[in-house]
Amino acid sequence: MHAALNILSAVNNRLAQVIVIVAALIVLVIVAVVFGGVAIRTVTGHGSAMVQELPPLLVPWLVFPLLGLLLRSDSHIAIDFLPAILPDRSKRMLRIAVALVSLIAGAIFCQAGLEAVSLFQMTGQVTEMELEFPIWWIYLSFPVGFAILMSFALEVALAAFLGKPGTGDAAPAHNPEL
């Protein structure tokens, strides 16, 4: 099991790097589109609908792939008083439980996302903005993000089961008492 965890961790480390780079590029595009739209409107007096429409369409590709990274680093929304008062063994059990719930939820949501993508592929719908593209591209972020979450949840569960510290096991910087 240690070998499987090492392989999964190595794969997830690379995946995390790709996710961070893609997220940074998406933020860059969003900022550039909005800034460019404001600059063009200021200079020419004419705006573009794409400035308002494109950023919200990119947000799912920013949010869903980051779910696994948040779980892995314990940066997700959590009740943090429990780990502070639990003994080490109970902390590990809690971490395993959270990872397993995330894994199961990820599988369910991934399947639902695949069904939504399939539906939108069959209907052939496209966006109604200046730059048309298939709507299923937006919905594809859902199963992709939850598949990534499943990979990271499996890593977190295995690491906790084997008693290895996870990426987020260090005390948060905002509360050094933990």
Q: What is the pLDDT of residues 37-59, one digit of tens each?
A: 999 888 988 878 788 888 999 99
Look at 176 and 129; give whichever has higher pLDDT.
Answer: 129
Show the tokens assigned to 171: 């005390």
Look at 26 and 47; give whichever has higher pLDDT.
Answer: 26
Domain ranges, ordered by start, for the chain: 2-161
pLDDT tens sequence across 126-138: 988 777 889 999 9
φ and ψ of 86, to 5 deg:
-80, 145
Q: What is the pLDDT of residue 146?
A: 97
Q: How many Cα atoms within 13 Å fall on the side-chain side of residue 24?
A: 6
Q: What is the pLDDT of residue 178?
A: 40
φ and ψ of 46, to 5 deg:
-120, 135
Q: What is the pLDDT of residue 99?
A: 94
pLDDT tens sequence across 59-107: 999 999 999 999 998 877 666 777 778 888 888 898 899 999 999 999 9
pTM of the model: 0.83
For residues 150-169, give the mean pLDDT: 84
Q: What is the pLDDT of residue 140?
A: 96
